[in-house]
Amino acid sequence: MSRADVFISYKSEEEPVARHIREVLEANGISCWMAPDSIPVGSNYMKQIPEAIE
């Protein structure tokens, strides 16, 4: 897994706001990790999220 500068955590009802924040950050060269986009297909969510936080 590649390392990101920022881990974005959000409630599902706030996903549109989280996506907008991610777009702004990435447009300014800041890499972001945000589920589910950053979790490879077939991977275990329960394993991937703690690894990303580390």
Q: How many residues does the chain have?
A: 54
pLDDT at 3: 84
pLDDT at 2: 65
What digits encode the pLDDT tens for the residues 1-54?
A: 568 899 999 999 999 999 999 999 999 999 999 988 877 788 877 888 888 888
- Classify strands 6-7 and 32-33 as parallel, antiparallel or unpaired: parallel
Q: Residue 7 is encoded by which pair of tokens?
A: 């881990």
pLDDT at 46: 80
